[in-house]
Amino acid sequence: AQRVTQPEKLLSVFKGAPVELKCNYSYSGSPELFWYVQYSRQRLQLLLRHISRESIKGFTADLNKGETSFHLKKPFAQEEDSAMYYCALLGSNYKLTFGKGTLLTVNP
Partner 1 sequence: NAGVTQTPKFRILKIGQSMTLQCTQDMNHNYMYWYRQDPGMGLKLIYYSVGAGITDKGEVPNGYNVSRSTTEDFPLRLELAAPSQTSVYFCASSQTVNEQFFGPGTRLTVL
Q: Which is nearer to partner 1, 65 or 100 (CB)?
A: 100
CB of 105 to partner 1, least distance (A): 16
Q: Which is nearer to partner 1, 47 or 106 (CB)?
A: 47
Q: Which residues bind partner 1 (CB under 8 A)?
A: 4, 9, 32, 34, 43-46, 49, 51, 86, 90, 93-101
> Is residue 79 classed as helix, strand or coil in its secondary structure?
helix
Closest residue by Cα to residue 85 from 51, 48, 53: 48
| Cα gap 97→13, rounded to integer Å | 27
CB of 43 to partner 1, least distance (A): 5
CB of 35 to partner 1, least distance (A): 12
Q: Which is nearer to partner 1, 28 or 42 (CB)?
A: 42
CB of 6 to partner 1, least distance (A): 8
CB atoms within 10 A of CB 96: 14
Closest residue by Cα to residue 90 from 7, 4, 12: 4
Residues contacting 22, CB < 8 A, separation 6+: 6, 7, 8, 69, 71, 102
Q: Which is nearer to partner 1, 19 or 35 (CB)?
A: 35
